[in-house]
Chain A
Amino acid sequence: MTSLHQSGAATGSRTGRPRRRRVGTGGRRGVPLPLLLPGLLALAFLLLPLVALLIRAPWGSLPGQLSSTEVWQALQLSLISATAATAVSLVLGVPLAWLLARTDFPGRGFVRALVTLPLVLPPVVGGVALLLALGRNGVIGKWLDSWFGITLPFTTAGVVVAEAFVAMPFLVISVEGTLRAADPRFEEAATTLGASRFTAFRRVTLPLIAPGIAAGSVLAWARALGEFGATITFAGNFPGRTQTMPLAVYLALQNDPDAAISLSLVLLVVSIAVLAALRDRWMTGA
């Protein structure tokens, strides 16, 4: 904490003087102090809790705690369900984003607001809403149960549904933004050359917005991996079936904080590894 402060102040004063001299020349090295300090504070604020996790980690008992089958079950389930939720989001979310960006219909602004609702909704509320819609006794779930014998709560499919519910808006927003930035004249050119609307979408639009789709998928995947409230409310908590890592962390915190820290570390490492790897490959230049 203190060392960060000092280094921040030092760089600040060093860059402070040349900044004044370079006024008007547009020098790129002169970082304005009013931006530097809050920026560094923000960095410290975002990173310190994670550093604290590393400092407090029970390194000695870590191997023992991580070798338990329940941890691996939870991690495996988390990875599988987050990936499945991302796939669902891609299949359904990209077309939705296209509809929002490329078509005009009455109340489109309202629909766009609704799409982002799960972003701001407390996840537990999302879980209750899902239960009321898709639960065994829910508006649609009732029919799913009596016609097909499908019940989603307490199943891995339920976990995927809960995660997709909170993660899909990230993908839709990201893809819609990229679509709006992409020039629609390319698609129009393709259609005037004889391509059907769908071929134009597949051959022209999709490659054009690929970076946006990748960025959105990464965001959605990360959100799904960390999802807690909707999952425990809608899908419940059963080891190996619906207990994802965040649920395991929360329940471990009740009586074994050390175990919770160890589990959090695993989730942290996995998240960083995937985000970093994908960011390098897909997201630069996005």
Chain B
Amino acid sequence: MTRSVRRTRRMLQLAGAGAAALMALSACSSSSGSAKSKDTSASSGSSASPKLSGSVTVFAAASLKESFTTLGKEFEKQHPGTHVNFNFGGSDTLAASITGGAPADVFAAASPKTMKIVTAKNDAVGTPATFVRNQLEIATVPGNPHKVASLKDLTKSGLKVVLCDKTVPCGAAAQKALDASHLKLTPVSYEQDVKGALNKVELKEADAAVVYKTDVHAAGDKVGGVEFPESAKAINDYPIVLLKNAPNAETAKAFIALVQSAEGQKVLSQAGFLKP
């Protein structure tokens, strides 16, 4: 058993090394820069803008897709010669592949719990920083025909509501908000992720769902959004961190700096995220 585990880990590492080598090749000049970066990292601040180059690989929560893609393009424009690769997915899946040896520079998770998977294995450098927060919102069928105005309205009988399952972050947050306001809600379904919950409303199979503000925003006019004050009691923090085995740490640091900068925060808040 341990043998096969070790073997798969070795294979992962091999695959990782291969991918890293490919990246280095495609970026031509990056390898020497990233090799030296460790000695010089102490002296240069991120704002001093040293000559950055090479690819940086960012593993980020699926909910960050739109805003991080925008930020990636901005970063490449600011630093010609750099390239930002993204791997968007469920935070726990991403965390598992990072601890499994995937070659990544930056990890941005949708919850401190999933970030802990990475930090517990000492795969991160320093403490993760909360860069945005996400708040819950009620998504309704367009036009809000059932006149949902509050969290309490969702408990009305006859209304088909879907929640995320308690095992996934959006479900845990929704449950926290319900508990905090002493409301009991029986949904028609506990969905496996936030997009599943949103889809049921978009297809008008459900009348309402409790999802993130950013999801309502991303769905455009396919759903209506109703904010509710109880959501303040269940806000999700998004941490970001530099990874220990980052192939291109210097450029990665600059990307994290961009995410945290006023400019980055503007892009994120346009997507519906809250400031940390």
| Partner-B contacts on A (CB < 8 A) | 1, 52, 55, 131-132, 135-137, 153-154, 232-233, 235-239, 242-243, 247, 250-252, 254-256
CB-CB under 8 A from B206, the residues of chain A are: 154
B168 interfacial by beta-carbon distance below 8 Å? yes
Shortest Cβ distance from A250 into B: residue? B192
Residue of A with least CB distance to B3 = A1
A136-B205, A137-B205 given; A236·B200 CB < 8 A: yes
Which of B92, B168, B189, B203 is the one whose CB lies under 8 Å from A242? B189
Pull 11 A–B residue pairs with CB atoms less than 8 Å apart, ordered by A.
A1-B3, A135-B203, A154-B160, A154-B188, A154-B189, A232-B191, A232-B192, A238-B188, A254-B92, A254-B165, A254-B167
Known contacts A154-B188, A236-B188, A238-B187; is A55 also within 8 Å of B1 by CB? yes
Chain A residues lying within 8 Å of B1, measured Cβ to Cβ, are 52, 55
User: What band does the interface of chain B fall in when counting residues whose beta carbon is under 8 Å from A?
Assistant: 20 to 34
- Do A237 and B191 touch (CB < 8 A)? yes
* B10 → A minimal CB distance (Å): 15
Q: Check if B86 is an interface residue, CB within 8 A of chain A.
A: no
Q: Mark B229-258, 1 if CB is under 8 A from A, else 0.
A: 000000000000000000000000000000
Select which of A52, A154, A251, A256 is within 8 A of B165 by beta carbon: A251
Please report which residues of chain B, range 181-201, place their CB below 8 angstroms from some CB of chain A when the two chains form the complex: 187-192, 196, 200
User: Given A131-B203, A131-B205, A137-B205, are A236 and B162 also a contact pair (CB < 8 Å)?
Assistant: yes
CB distance from B208 to the nearest CB of A (A): 13
Residues from chain B with Cβ under 8 Å of A250 in the complex: 192
Known A55-B1, A154-B189, A242-B189; judge A237-B165 contact (CB<8 A).
yes
The CA of A236 and the CA of B189, in the complex, are separated in Å by: 5
A250 and B203 CA atoms in complex are apart in Å by: 24
Q: Which B residues touch A254, using CB under 8 A? A: 92, 165, 167-168
Q: Does B176 sit at the interface, judged by CB under 8 A?
A: no
Q: Is B222 in contact with chain A by the CB < 8 A criterion?
A: no
Within the complex, what minimum Cβ distance (angstroms) separates A263 from chain B? Answer: 13
Give bound CA distance, A152 to B165, whole Å: 21
Asked whether B204 is an interface residue with its Cβ less than 8 Å from the other chain, the reply is: yes
Specify which chain A residues have a CB less than 8 angstroms from the CB of B162 in the assembled complex.
Answer: 236
B43 within 8 Å of A (CB atoms): no
Complex Cα gap A236–B1 (Å):
36
By Cβ-Cβ distance, the 3 closest A-B pairs, closest first, are A236-B189, A254-B167, A154-B188
Tell yes or no: B32 within 8 A of A by CB.
no
Q: How far is the CA of A246 from the CA of B56 in the complex (A)?
A: 38
- Least CB distance from A23 to B in Å reads 39
Q: Chain B residues with Cβ under 8 A from A153's Cβ? A: 188, 200, 205
A135 to B141, CA, bound (A): 15
B4 contacts partner chain A, Cβ-Cβ < 8 Å = yes
A55 to B3, CA, bound (A): 14
Do B204 and A137 have beta carbons less than 8 Å apart? yes
**Cα-based distance from A233 to B191 in the complex (angstroms):** 9
- Could you tell me which residues of chain B, from 143 to 200, have a CB within 8 Å of some CB in chain A? 160, 162, 165, 167-168, 187-192, 196, 200
Contacts A55-B1, A232-B196, A251-B165 given; does A238 touch B189 at CB 8 Å: yes
Per the bound structure, the CA–CA distance linking A52 and B3 in Å amounts to 13
In angstroms, how far is the closest chain B Cβ from the Cβ of A120? 23
Q: How far is the CA of A242 from the CA of B200 in the complex (A)?
A: 15
Closest beta carbon of chain A to B230's beta carbon, Å: 23
A230 to chain B, nearest CB (A): 13
Nearest residue (CB) in A for B187 is A238
Considering the chains assembled together, what is the distance between the CA atoms of A242 and B192 in angstroms? 13
Q: Known contacts A236-B189, A236-B191, A237-B192; decide if A255 and B167 are in contact (CB<8 Å).
A: yes
Q: Which of B1-45 contact A (CB under 8 A)?
A: 1, 3-4
**Chain A residue nearest to B188 in the complex (CB):** A154
Residues of B within 8 A of A243 (CB): 190
11 A-B pairs besides A137-B203, A232-B196, A255-B167 with CB distance below 8 A are A135-B203, A137-B204, A137-B205, A154-B160, A154-B206, A237-B191, A237-B192, A238-B190, A251-B165, A251-B168, A254-B165
Once bound together, how far apart are the Cα atoms of A55 and B160, in whole Å? 42
- Residues on B with beta carbons closer than 8 Å to the beta carbon of A233: 196
Contacts of A136 in B (CB 8 A): 204-205
B167 surroundings in chain A (CB, below 8 A):
251-252, 254-256
User: Smallest distance from the beta carbon of A187 to chain B beta carbons, Å?
Assistant: 45
Beta-carbon contact of A1 and B165 below 8 Å: no
CB distance from B185 to the nearest CB of A (A): 12
> Pick the contact of B203 from A132, A154, A255 — CB < 8 Å?
A132
